Amino acid sequence: MPELPEVEIVKQSLNKKIRGKTIKKVSVKNRNLRFKLASNFEKKIINKKIDRINRFSKYIILKFDDNSGFVIHLGMSGTIHLIGKVKKNTITNSSFYHSPNLPKKHNHIEINFEKIKLIYNDPRRFGYLLIFKNEEELKKKFTNFGPEPFSKNFTSIYIYNYFRNKKKNIKSFLLDQKFVSGIGNIYASEILFFCRINPSKKAKNLSLNDCKKIFYFSKLVLKKAIKQGGSSIRDFKNTTGNQGKFQKNFKVYQRENLNCLKGGCKGVIKKKFISNRSSFFCNICQK
């Protein structure tokens, strides 16, 4: 599943390609996504102009000039493909997941602009598109979400107070969108490595200094990932011609049984399942 940095890259791609453009035609081949696509989806977005493209957590938000719009969540396997109508581009995927080219199957939604079209592809159909009428309705969508790592509300004090008397382990909290929005499995493992915190450690046992590390390295790791184009699990470029490179800098993720990369540490990277998710950590320097 794409995490905050990868979704940010998709948002940036959409900003370059479709911002300011008007929707000319909408074709829906399959409404049965994670949440069934609204029966009036086509009617609600046709002839609307894309005014802004934002991101919150792992969600892409396309706003029209009347403050209505729709939210896209890519789920486990969703991708957005951008195809030029005049000059056919060979690489269509706006992200770094799955095929770089438009697949022949599972192209559920097609949104046409004047010189380009957007296609939503999703083999597993865990993603969805959700219409909102105005800003207030959009905010309700994210009522139960915690702050993003880049938010002014995400502070070391917020983290410390949140963790008081909490018995759940820290890795599970980093994946809990009610605590912090946007961090997924890959970056949670990387953040905890830099913090030198074992993913199984109970949140209530974390010191204020530990919380300061989580605050600092959450921002640092995610910023680096965005700067490097996200994590490209497969080796290809997206529609902007860029390639995700952060996977080349993984310190622990998918490095099971390899030596720890911390200078002077003789530890080995171990893999453990926490909350049914794979966690990677150094058996020595992560306490």
pLDDT above 60 for 140? yes
Tell me: do 278 and 199 sit in the same domain: yes
Give all strands of the β-sheet with 107-112 in edge-to-edge order.
25-28, 107-112, 116-121, 79-84
**Same domain flag for 102 and 162:** no
Domain contains 36: yes
Task: Indicate if 62 and 86 belong to the same structural domain.
Answer: yes
Q: Report H helices in the chain.
A: 4-17, 41-45, 135-141, 156-163, 170-175, 185-195, 208-227
The two tokens of residue 265 are 């540490």
Amino acid at 53: I
Structural domain includes residue 146: no
Structure token digits, residue 237: 């470029």
Q: Are residues 134 and 170 in the same domain?
A: no
Strand 107-112 with 25-28, pairing: antiparallel
Q: Is residue 149 part of a domain?
A: no
Q: Is 148 domain-assigned? A: no
* Domain span including residue 188: 156-282
Q: What is the per-residue pLDDT for 92? A: 85
Q: Which residues are designated catalytic?
A: 2-3, 58, 277
- Indicate the SS3 state at residue 86: coil
Question: Domain total for the chain?
Answer: 2
pLDDT value at residue 233: 43
> Do 23 and 103 belong to one domain?
yes
- CATH code for the domain of 111: 3.20.190.10
Whole-number percent of the chain with pLDDT over 70: 92
Give me the CATH number covering residue 249. 1.10.8.50
Rounded percentage of the chain residues whose pLDDT exceeds 90: 79
Q: Where are the beta strands (DSSP E) in 85-144?
A: 107-112, 116-121, 128-132
Locus of tokens 């470029």: 237
pLDDT at 235: 42
Confidence band for 243, pLDDT divided at 50, 70 and 90? low
pLDDT averaged over every residue in the chain: 91
Which pLDDT does position 6 carry in this prediction?
A: 86
Q: What is the pTM of this model?
A: 0.90
Decide if 100 is inside a domain: yes
* Residue 279: its H or E element: strand 277-282
Gap between the Cα atoms of 51 and 59, Å rounded:
17
Together in a domain, 36 and 59? yes
Same domain flag for 195 and 122: no
Residue 74, pLDDT > 80, answer yes
Spatial distance between the Cα atoms of 186 and 216, rounded to a whole number of angstroms: 17
Given a cut of 80, is residue 247 above it in pLDDT?
no
Whether 81 and 204 share a structural domain: no
Both 18 and 43 in one domain: the answer is yes
**Residue/partner pairs of 211-218 with CB below 8 Å, 24 or more apart:** 211/156, 211/157, 211/159, 211/160, 211/163, 212/156, 214/156, 214/159, 214/170, 214/174, 215/154, 215/155, 215/156, 215/159, 217/191, 218/149, 218/154, 218/174, 218/180, 218/183, 218/191
pLDDT at 97: 64
User: Which domain-ending residue is among 141, 165, 199?
Assistant: 141
In which band, very low, low, confident or very high, does the pLDDT at 23 lie, cut at 50, 70 and 90? very high
Residue 145 sits at the vertex; the CA angle it makes with 142 and 148, to the nearest 5 degrees, is: 105
The answer to whether residue 125 is domain-embedded is yes
Q: Could you tell me if 50 and 62 are in contact, meaning their C-beta atoms sit under 8 angstroms apart?
A: yes
